[in-house]
């Protein structure tokens, strides 16, 4: 299975000028390292306001551009102040969107109902979706990780019954939906679960998705949470870890491309 390394830029960089500088160095390293091969697909997710700039500059390169979120209310237009729809982000050049990041679940109270709407809107507008799941520190300490995942992955089970998937082959869903397992306690903290723990959790996620429909092909499951240039090798070495969703280390071209190189090398 192809690996994915996705950079979530969150509410960074501050200016369009800084976005261009980050792209300059990313594209320069990408050219020389040519780490983005068939083994490892690279993607970056800038803020909504920088989507058009970034996607225009990535045209003709092997890197993809994703939104960090889309509106739950409508896939196109409407009276929804402050929202950006799936159609608008696609028009700005994004081909994917991140959904259900823990920061959105925490600060915007995103529920499973909200996420089902967003997933349907993404697929309606031909955007792929990277659905983030993961437990908090408290839930991890209470050994509730699998129960939390059951609850969060139920959106995929519901998605399978939605009209947007009628007439769709399950193969094409697996090409347009990626799961990112991101333990909330590992995001931006420098704390990481062991590779064995992530491997077991990814096996559980894959098994849970397969239980929804036995005809579904295997979905890519990425790990996210304090991945950096030093620990990427160890995660990349597990066959259950199909890539990484990267926050802080995605804001420096050297660390982002080193993570890409680790996955590219391990999956070759
Ligand atoms: C994230 O926010 O998705 C993330 C994984 O952040 P970091 O790599 O900084 O932990």
Give the position, in ligand 1's atom list, of the atom nearest the Cα of 224.
5
Q: What is the pLDDT of residue 172?
A: 84
Residue 133 CA to ligand 1 centre (angstroms): 12
Residue 246 CA to ligand 1 centre (angstroms): 5
Q: What is the pLDDT of residue 116?
A: 97
Give the position, in ligand 1's atom list, of the atom nearest the Cα of 246.
8
pLDDT category, 174, cuts 50, 70, 90? confident
| 169 pLDDT above the threshold of 80 | no
Residues within a 6 A CB radius of ligand 1: 8, 182, 187-188, 224-227, 245-249
| 23 pLDDT above the threshold of 60 | yes
Q: What is the pLDDT of residue 215?
A: 87
Q: What is the pLDDT of residue 126?
A: 93
pLDDT category, 34, cuts 50, 70, 90? low
Q: Looking at ligand 1, which residue's alpha carbon is closest to its atom 8?
A: 247
User: Pairing relation of β-strands 221-224 and 177-181?
Assistant: parallel
**Residues acting as catalytic residues:** 101, 182
Give the position, in ligand 1's atom list, of the atom nearest the Cα of 228.
8
pLDDT digits (tens, 9 = 90+) for 180-198: 999 999 999 999 999 999 9
Q: Looking at ligand 1, which residue's alpha carbon is closest to its atom 4?
A: 247
pLDDT digits (tens, 9 = 90+) for 211-254: 999 888 999 999 999 999 999 999 999 999 999 999 999 999 99
Q: Looking at ligand 1, which residue's alpha carbon is closest to its atom 3?
A: 247
Residue 1 CA to ligand 1 centre (angstroms): 23
Question: Domains of the chain, with CATH numbers?
Answer: 3-34+41-56+63-267 (3.20.20.70)
Give the position, in ligand 1's atom list, of the atom nearest the Cα of 227.
8
Q: What is the pLDDT of residue 37?
A: 56
Q: What is the pLDDT of residue 32?
A: 63
Q: What is the pLDDT of residue 30?
A: 72
| 38 pLDDT above the threshold of 80 | no
Q: What is the pLDDT of residue 246?
A: 98
Whether omega for the bond prior to residue 13 falls within 30 degrees of 0, making it cis, is: yes
CB 183 within 8 A of CB 225: yes
């Amino acid at each position: 299975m192809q690996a994915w390394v996705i950079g979530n830029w969150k509410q960074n960089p501050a200016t369009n000028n800084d976005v261009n500088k980050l792209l300059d160095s990313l594209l320069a390293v990408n050219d020389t390292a040519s780490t983005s091969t068939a083994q490892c697909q690279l993607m970056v997710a800038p803020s909504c306001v920088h989507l058009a700039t970034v996607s225009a500059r990535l045209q003709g390169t092997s890197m993809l551009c994703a939104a960090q979120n889309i509106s739950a209310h409508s896939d196109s237009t409407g009276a929804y102040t402050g929202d950006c729809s799936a159609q608008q982000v696609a028009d700005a050049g994004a081909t994917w969107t991140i959904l259900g990041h823990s920061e959105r679940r925490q600060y915007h109270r995103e529920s499973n109902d909200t996420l089902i709407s967003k997933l349907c809107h993404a697929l309606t507008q031909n955007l792929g979706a990277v659905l983030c799941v993961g437990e908090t520190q408290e839930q991890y300490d209470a050994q509730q990780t699998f129960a939390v995942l059951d609850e969060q992955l139920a959106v995929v089970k519901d998605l399978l019954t939605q009209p947007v998937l009628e007439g769709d082959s399950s193969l094409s869903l697996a090409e347009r939906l990626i799961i990112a397992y991101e333990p909330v306690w590992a995001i931006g903290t420098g704390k990481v679960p062991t590779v064995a723990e992530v491997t077991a959790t990814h096996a559980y996620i894959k098994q849970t998705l397969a239980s929804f429909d036995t005809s579904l092909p295997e979905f890519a499951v990425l790990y996210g949470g304090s991945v950096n240039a030093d620990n990427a090798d160890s995660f990349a070495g597990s066959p259950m870890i199909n890539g990484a969703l990267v926050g802080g280390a995605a804001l420096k071209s050297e660390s982002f491309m080193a993570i890409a190189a680790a996955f590219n090398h391990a999956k070759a």
